[in-house]
């Protein structure tokens, strides 16, 4: 649609900085910033009142190119984390781990004391690499770029001494049989199968997946109780946790003849009335107010035909534009799911790199040329360090030299420049 130029007046799309820059430079979408104060006063007031929203919404050229979906409540952006078998902790008289040493000892005890009681000492941790590698946060690093302690200097996590400690931790888990070898397969079916074999003491995913694991386990005669594990060390280095402005919203086509009219319509969703409609739907149908508290009706929560989120979509669209309500979202969660989010969102995300840094055309070309190859070589080394096929101590300098040869310094430089531009907004 965009390439043909045959566009609708309003375009709901994934407007990341790269895509926004591309289509604005081509003259296909309108800079709405000059219109907002007059035609979208509620959105304008929100932008002026929140520095993070302002910085994330304004593009590098000083324009605003879409009406956003806002998730400024931290409960909406900490949607994934670790769950640990609370029933196993209780059975063995172990406390919730709060340090990496404590976590290692807990996982060792799960295995040594046969927490699942099948006599085989086969208790493990498993899951996608991208998820289990979030254990690196406990060492104040990540499997990607992040900020140094000053919150401004961009570093490549896999080059740091902290990452070296993380690899040592993972190598220990692997050597002792605690880290599932199938961690390297990235096969969800394998992970779910092992969960249903009652073997997995630690897993990383969203609350819905944990709910499904426990529900399916119950159907199979198992009583599994996964509880949210607080982020060890208190850090979460995922850029998603800093995303107030989601990269989705409505841009206005340059062919639109009534920009003001569309903005006036969309601004309604930033009013109190519009926000309620967006998140809760229609009073008396999809929600009611009881003693001053909003709650969904059975049409949403006990629908005979549809899941709650599907039923709600017939009345509301909280991920369209406007400010999403965490309270409304929580009404769709079980108490257990709420507990996961409430635990995970209690974290420090100051070391996570800003999600809305944008590359120039030249920087984007460098990233395209080098980022994939760097990721490939880094992943290969990481996996060898974890399995012991490479020595963390003896091969570390060779590893760093390989990262340099594959352009890590150039990739760091463009991210630092982009981050500096963002901070200067």
3, pLDDT greater than 80: no
212, pLDDT greater than 80: yes
Mean pLDDT of the chain, nearest integer: 96
pLDDT digits (tens, 9 = 90+) for 236-271: 999 999 999 999 999 999 999 999 999 999 999 999
Burial 39-67 (b: 16+ CB within 10 A, else e): bbebbbebbeebeebbbbbbbbeebbbbb
Model pLDDT, residue 4: 56
Would you report the helix, strand and coil content of the chain in percent, each value rounded to 5?
50, 15, 35
Q: Which of 30, 27, 106, 19 is nearest to 63 (CA)?
A: 30
Model pLDDT, residue 5: 61
Which residues make Cβ contacts (< 8 Å) with residue 346, sequence separation at least 6?
230, 231, 234
Query: How much is the average pLDDT of 315-344?
Result: 96
Model pLDDT, residue 2: 55
Q: What sign does the dihedral 77-83-89-95 (CA atoms) show?
A: negative
CATH class given for the domain over 81-237: alpha beta
Model pLDDT, residue 369: 97
pLDDT digits (tens, 9 = 90+) for 115-143: 999 999 999 999 999 999 999 999 999 99
pLDDT digits (tens, 9 = 90+) for 332-349: 999 999 999 999 999 999
Are the C-beta atoms of 42 and 83 separated by less than 8 Å? no
pLDDT digits (tens, 9 = 90+) for 354-402: 999 999 989 999 999 999 999 999 999 999 999 999 999 999 999 999 9
Domain definitions of the chain by residue range? 81-237, 361-423
């Amino acid at each position: 649609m965009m390439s043909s130029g045959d566009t609708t007046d309003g375009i709901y799309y994934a407007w990341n900085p790269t895509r926004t820059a591309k289509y604005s430079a081509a003259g296909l979408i309108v800079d709405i910033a000059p219109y907002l104060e007059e035609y979208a006063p509620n959105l304008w007031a929100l932008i002026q009142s929140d520095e993070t929203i302002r910085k994330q919404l304004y593009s590098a050229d000083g324009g605003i190119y879409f009406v956003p979906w806002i998730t400024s409540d931290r409960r909406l952006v900490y949607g994934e984390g670790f769950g640990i078998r609370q029933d196993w902790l209780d059975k063995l008289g172990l406390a919730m781990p709060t340090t990496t040493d404590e976590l290692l000892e807990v996982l060792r005890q799960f295995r040594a004391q046969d927490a699942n009681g099948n006599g085989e000492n086969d208790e493990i941790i498993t899951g996608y690499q991208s998820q289990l590698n979030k254990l690196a946060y406990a060492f104040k690093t990540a499997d990607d770029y992040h900020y140094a302690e000053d919150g401004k200097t961009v570093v490549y996590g896999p080059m740091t001494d902290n990452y070296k400690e993380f690899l040592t931790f993972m190598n220990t888990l692997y050597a002792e049989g605690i880290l599932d070898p199938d961690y390297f397969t990235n096969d969800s079916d394998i992970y779910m199968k092992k969960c249903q074999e009652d073997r997995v003491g630690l897993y990383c995913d969203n609350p819905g997946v944990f709910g499904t694991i426990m529900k399916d386990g119950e159907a199979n005669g198992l009583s599994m109780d996964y509880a949210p594990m607080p982020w060890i060390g208190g850090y979460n280095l995922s850029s998603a946790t800093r995303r107030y402005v989601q990269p989705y919203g409505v841009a206005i086509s340059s062919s639109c003849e009534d920009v003001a009219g569309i903005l006036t319509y969309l601004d309604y969703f930033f009013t109190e009335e519009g926000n309620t409609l967006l998140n809760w739907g229609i009073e008396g149908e999809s929600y009611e107010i009881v003693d001053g508290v909003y709650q969904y009706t059975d049409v949403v929560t006990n629908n005979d035909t549809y899941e709650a989120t599907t039923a709600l979509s017939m009345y509301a669209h909280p991920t369209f534009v406007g400010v999403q309500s965490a309270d409304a979202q929580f009404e769709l969660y079980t108490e257990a799911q709420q507990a996961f989010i409430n635990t995970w969102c209690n974290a420090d995300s100051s070391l996570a790199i800003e999600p809305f840094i944008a590359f120039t055309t030249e920087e984007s070309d460098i990233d395209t040329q080098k980022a994939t190859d760097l990721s490939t070589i880094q992943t290969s080394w990481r996996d060898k360090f974890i399995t012991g096929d490479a020595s963390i101590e003896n091969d570390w300098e060779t590893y760093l030299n390989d990262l340099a040869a594959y352009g890590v310094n150039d990739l760091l430089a463009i991210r630092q420049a982009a981050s500096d531009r963002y901070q200067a907004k």
